[in-house]
Amino acid sequence: MNFSYKALAADGKTVSGSAEAADRDGLIALLARQKLHPIVIHAEKGKGGLHFSLLKPKVRLTDLVIFTRQLSTMISAGVPLVKALDTLALDTDSKYLRTIIAGVTKDVESGLPLATAFAKYPNAFSRVYINMVKAGESGGILDEILKRLATQVEQDASIKKKIRSAMAYPTVIFVVTIIAFFGIMIFIMPKISSILTGLAGPNAKLPIYTRVLLDISKVMQHYALYIILGTIALIFFTVRYIRTPKGRYQFHYLLLRAPIFKIVVTKIAVARFSRTFASLMSAGVSVLDALDVTGGAVGNLVIEGELKKASEAVRNGRPLSEPLGDSKYFPPIVSQMLSVGEETGQIDTVLVKVADFYDEEVAAVINSLASIIEPVMIVVLGGVVGLIAASVMGPIASLSKNVANQ
């Protein structure tokens, strides 16, 4: 939210300006750290009609990594949490992150846990981030968890970068294909239709695929604008629905059914579970408490549900390796390694190795993604071009030959 304000500086001068804060209290805390005493504060109304949540500001991953590492270092050095947050708010270059840290500091000062304070800013801190901080606070290993979080955020950023890199070329091809298809259907096919009609008359018998393309062309000439607007509306409302609890669960379920995405999502979830659970166990947290906290850190609601079922089984006296062995989404190697850890009393050591293994697996899958997608997209593009060429040039050549023979 944007605010305009007038404030009194330390030297007695009146200062006017505007700033972004989560709420009025967050702005007051931000101004206090700048040694400004607010006199008047007004919330600025948004310009325009609809407010699109997609346009909300976000914290850059690089800024989040730096903040997380610095906070971990200061807590490890024994700096009080409020003092550490206060210092980091002044050090960060991101105005948006500075505002958020000021709000978090105020909440922590009032007695809220750090994870609860972070949860008020979902645009900055993901659900996984918040639950891992919660895990660190529960186990008394916040500094260690923050170190792992910084590494995990870097890994997530690296994965996203690799996915974007792998998808850049296919996306360009796809967009060019769509634009070319619209252009051909709206501008070129009507002229070709008139040529075909001129050569063979309005009752000419054309191949079925040519008739289909001509019919599509007629529809797109009349309804192209509605098709485009409808597609945009569908995308917008789909994104809005996915952000609801029910929509998020269904989206996560679909990801676990998609052939390529299933592999990536499962491996990432297993790596996160293994590493977070190992950290909690090494800190002496009970299995049940570790499962309850770790469930929210895997990043997938369906797999989180599996962990809740596993927690119930453990509560009923079964070892954790058994329900995970029955799970649809945890690979057999996880339950087997976990069983070894339970027998030897080294669950944390075993799970760290599992996490390292699956981190390498994720990197390998992402690296091979581009080599799979690019040729597929080229084949698809070639198929579309070939279909259009056959639908257009074939009838023209045939009709031209008939006219010449006459």
* Helices marked H in 201-258: 208-242, 245-255
In the predicted model, is pLDDT for residue 316 greater than 50? yes
Residue 116, pLDDT score: 87
What share of the chain has pLDDT > 70, as a percent? 86
In the predicted model, is pLDDT for residue 235 greater than 80? yes
Q: Could you tell me the CA-to-CA distances from 221 to 95, 204, 218, 227, 230 in Å, in that order?
A: 48, 22, 5, 10, 15
**CB-count burial class (<10 Å; 0-12, 13-18, 19+) for 347:** buried
In the predicted model, is pLDDT for residue 45 greater than 50? yes
Task: Compare 378 and 114 and report the one with higher pLDDT.
Answer: 114
Q: Please write the tens of the pLDDT for every residue from 157-214.
A: 777 777 777 777 778 877 887 888 788 788 887 887 777 777 666 666 777 777 787 8
Average pLDDT, the chain: 80
In the predicted model, is pLDDT for residue 405 greater than 60? no
What share of the chain has pLDDT > 90, as a percent? 10
In the predicted model, is pLDDT for residue 44 greater than 90? no
DSSP 21: -
Q: Supply 330's token pair.
A: 């945890």
Residue 200, pLDDT score: 62
Residue 53, pLDDT score: 43
- Give the mean model confidence (pLDDT) for residues 241-264: 89
- Give the mean model confidence (pLDDT) for residues 64-81: 90
DSSP 94: -
Residues in contact with 107: Cβ distance below 8 Å, sequence separation at least 6, in sequence order: 116, 117, 120
Distance CA 268, CA 156 (A): 9
Amino acid at the residue 257: R
- Give the mean model confidence (pLDDT) for residues 123-148: 81
The model's pTM: 0.64
Q: Strand 14-20 vs strand 37-43: parallel, antiparallel, or unpaired?
A: unpaired
* Helices marked H in 37-112: 61-76, 81-91, 95-109
In the predicted model, is pLDDT for residue 233 greater than 60? yes
**CB-count burial class (<10 Å; 0-12, 13-18, 19+) for 203:** exposed
- Give the mean model confidence (pLDDT) for residues 321-343: 88
Residue 230, pLDDT score: 92
In the predicted model, is pLDDT for residue 48 greater than 50? no
Task: Compare 170 and 119 and report the one with higher pLDDT.
Answer: 119
CA angle 31, 61, 233 (to 5 degrees): 95
- Give the mean model confidence (pLDDT) for residues 228-240: 92
Amino acid at the residue 368: S
Confidence band, pLDDT 50/70/90 cuts, at residue 84: very high
Confidence band, pLDDT 50/70/90 cuts, at residue 47: very low
Question: Which H/E stretch holds residue 14?
Answer: strand 14-20
Q: What three-state secondary structure class fits 286?
A: coil
Confidence band, pLDDT 50/70/90 cuts, at residue 21: low
In the predicted model, is pLDDT for residue 352 greater than 80? yes
Residue 349, pLDDT score: 85
Of 384, 380, 391, nearest to 215 by C-alpha is: 391
In the predicted model, is pLDDT for residue 113 greater than 50? yes
Q: Supply 354's token pair.
A: 């599992």
Least confident of 270-274, 292-296, 313-317: 292-296
In the predicted model, is pLDDT for residue 152 greater than 80? no
Q: Supply 168's token pair.
A: 């850049």
- Give the mean model confidence (pLDDT) for residues 13-37: 70
Residue 291, pLDDT score: 84
With contact defined as beta carbons under 8 Å apart, do 293 and 134 qualify?
yes
Distance CA 111, CA 113 (A): 7
Residue 90, pLDDT score: 83
In the predicted model, is pLDDT for residue 155 greater than 60? yes
